[in-house]
Amino acid sequence: MVFDHRRDMFEVARGFAHFFAHESCGFCTPCRIGTELVVRRMDKLAAGYGSLFDEAELDELQGLLHGTTHCGLGATATNPLRDTLMRFRAAYERRLHATHFVPAFDLDAELGPARRVTGRDDPLAHLERYG
Ligand code: SF4
């Protein structure tokens, strides 16, 4: 496949990740679970919650799927991830906003109902956004 410089190679790889997770037949665990974990991590980066932790997890997942799946679909499912991590790492790195794990959702916003129940909305009832 040929792309020019206008294509975001992270998004190309994310499209492949969704495709392979959908195509996985589910017979073996590394492919069934691994392809879905790759999708979730890449969606997390796309949503603005990426960290070095997620990048390391993606690296580990692509290695795991290459050696443990039952058929060629699973074994090659992370080739786009592997190749873009190797050749277009900057496309991933600009989506990494923290050095440590951050949740894939706004944890402080999720605690809003608890704050309403307790009647608290002071600064100590909020979590800082990790960054
Ligand atoms: S590697 Fe092959 S057999 Fe295993 S879940 Fe994926 S598609 Fe099915």
Whole-number pLDDT of residue 67: 87
Using the atom order of ligand 1, give the atom closest to the CA of residue 25. Answer: 8
Q: Would you give per-residue pLDDT tens digits along the chain (131 residues)?
A: 899 999 999 999 999 999 999 999 999 999 999 999 999 999 999 999 999 999 999 999 999 999 899 999 999 999 999 999 999 999 999 999 988 888 888 888 999 999 999 999 998 899 875 44
Q: How many CB atoms lie within 10 A of CB 9?
A: 19
Prediction pTM value: 0.84
Q: Cα(125)–Cα(110) distance, rounded to whole angstroms?
A: 12
Which residues' Cβ are closer than 6 Å to ligand 1? 24-28, 31-32, 69-71, 73-74
Going by C-beta distance under 8 Å and a sequence separation of 6 or more, which residues neighbour residue 36?
Answer: 21, 24
Closest residue to atom 2 of ligand 1, CA basis: 71
How many whole angstroms from 91 Cα to the centroid of ligand 1? Answer: 29
Residues 6+ apart with CB under 8 A from 97: 48, 49, 50, 51, 131
* Domain range 9-98, its CATH number among 1.10.3720.10, 1.10.1060.10, 1.20.1440.230, 3.20.20.70: 1.20.1440.230
